[in-house]
Structure 1
């Protein structure tokens, strides 16, 4: 007589085990990695990030330590060795005798810090303004959007130049100028995404329960606008780094004591006609790699959060 097995383990033998459900972030990561270009850009950015924040460890020399820099080593070609210290300068030296590779590592750190901090601060201000405009509507929406329209109608570089010409040089003043220039982009994009969410049932249910406006905006609407925020934040970080480099190149951004990549390019610009190209070209390459990698990451994230763009 045949008896049925009562062992639950035996009952499951031969049955296909369903795959575990994907979390939203695992899906985003998987879709992002489908693009080899975006993956390569992420690797490049990660390497730049590591060498920037580990500049004191990875740099052959502290380029801003007067005791370690010798004017005798000024304008050495790439691959030259210092006669005074015996140090090998892989990318050469600049007009002040600083090792260019070390200067680029330190410049990357300052450029990244200014770009990331200004983008984060502008994100907070712009997100709050965009959510308030979408939620309250009426006069609040009209007032905030007219301010945003006025801001976006002016070239960003022009506004930043006017602000820094009035405020003067300095890291804090450059950050303030970049925040003022950027916040309107976040406000416009977040308002558009929040208006779509406003029409959904979960928001109407939260409003029907009499929940405070702040809770509805930040705990219910904002999480569903994260895709827009992530894409905008990524692209605006690259924009902020480019703006800061432009202002520093023109001499009204960061001071010489806090040199970014833009200032390093400006320091070598006068040597371009004397065939000492490396003083400006190598910092320029580093800036292109930094801004280009962030832009490629942002473009891929835009497709991941809006798959229809991949079909255009």
Structure 2
């Protein structure tokens, strides 16, 4: 009986969440599917992600190979599934770098203002002045094509966005009574920044995070496609699309098509989740409801 009541309550909560933001529900479901795929891909496919099948080169999709095979005789379905691990391994650490670098800079610039704000803001403006893809291409080419380098570069390039969002929020509340009270009672600066200001300024950055994770996936796939990012035989979706592009003209479209579809679904899921978070954190939404 208790289980049935809890299921009803969970269903009611989901229904209310759907009414408030169906985008968030659908996007979260797609992101959850991506995470499950990354966790369970080793149990789903009988093949390894780099296992070569000499007698199965460029086979069309079939019962034995759902997405066909590529020019090396590797199972495309298996490689697309394992590509989800690279997607998570890029999106989540990149988001951590963005937040870990951008949020403290935004807090410091907004709280101190004056020369500190001016210097930090101008430095961030210089970083954002370069086209993101071109800058990522240049830095990854110089530092190496490892997963760690790709993650760090993407995170650092996008950190200024979070810094600006947090900075604007801090500027709007730094003269508030609760901040003045914290200063008067002798709280150290780090406590004012991270205990008093951060919880009141992080909402906008949190809503922005899934959107920037989608951006990180797109940039990573772009880098791999042009030959700078993670490369074959690693089953990263951008690398798989690059590998399959040469076969499209000869009719073996499935090699590039299926990893491309997986990338679109993942990016779409993160974008929907981000749009939904912005809807849920918009105070005007509560007024309308």
Establish whether residue 256 from structure 1 lines up as the match of residue 242 from structure 2: no
Distance in 2, Cα, partners of 1:178 & 1:35: 29
What does residue 58 of structure 2 align with? Answer: 75
Establish whether residue 130 from structure 1 lines up as the match of residue 115 from structure 2: no
Tell me by how many angstroms 1:103 deviates.
0.3
Stretches of structure 2 lacking an aligned partner (at least 5 in a row) = 1-11
What does residue 44 of structure 1 align with? Answer: 30
1:1-312 → structure 2 map (5 Å cutoff): 30-31=16-17, 34-65=20-51, 69-79=52-62, 88-308=64-284
Which segments of structure 1 move beyond 4 Å, counting only runs of 4 or more?
26-33
Tell me by how many angstroms 1:31 deviates.
4.4
The structure whose residues are more often helix, as a share, is: 2
TM-score, structure 2 as length reference: 0.90
Is residue 265–residue 283 contact of structure 1 (8 Å, CA) maintained in 2? yes
Tell me by how many angstroms 1:257 deviates.
4.3
Return closer, same or farther for 1:98/1:175 CA change in 2, 3 Å cut-off. Answer: same
Return closer, same or farther for 1:141/1:164 CA change in 2, 3 Å cut-off. Answer: same
Residue-pair matches, total: 276
Distance in 2, Cα, partners of 1:258 & 1:30: 42
Tell me by how many angstroms 1:164 deviates.
1.3
Of the structure 1 ranges 170-179 and 284-293, higher mean CA displacement relative to structure 2 is found in 170-179
Distance in 2, Cα, partners of 1:182 & 1:250: 20
Instruction: Please give the root-mean-square deviation of Cα atoms over the aligned residues, in Å.
Output: 2.1
- Cα deviation per residue 1:95-125 (whole Å; 9 max; x = unaligned)? 1111111100111111221121011112111
Tell me by how many angstroms 1:45 deviates.
1.7
Is residue 224–residue 230 contact of structure 2 (8 Å, CA) maintained in 1? yes
Distance in 2, Cα, partners of 1:245 & 1:202: 45
Distance in 2, Cα, partners of 1:125 & 1:119: 10
Of the structure 1 ranges 101-110 and 254-263, higher mean CA displacement relative to structure 2 is found in 254-263
Of the structure 1 ranges 200-209 and 211-220, higher mean CA displacement relative to structure 2 is found in 200-209
Tell me by how many angstroms 1:238 deviates.
0.8
Greater C-alpha radius of gyration: 1
Is residue 26–residue 272 contact of structure 2 (8 Å, CA) maintained in 1? no
Tell me by how many angstroms 1:183 deviates.
1.0
Stretches of structure 1 lacking an aligned partner (at least 5 in a row) = 1-25, 81-87
- The secondary structure found in structure 1 opposite 2:232 is coil
Tell me by how many angstroms 1:162 deviates.
0.9
Distance in 2, Cα, partners of 1:58 & 1:219: 44
- Cα deviation per residue 1:130-180 (whole Å; 9 max; x = unaligned)? 001011111111110001111222211111011012112111221221122
Distance in 2, Cα, partners of 1:157 & 1:200: 40
Distance in 2, Cα, partners of 1:63 & 1:259: 7
Tell me by how many angstroms 1:30 deviates.
4.6
Distance in 1, Cα, partners of 2:159 & 2:13: 29
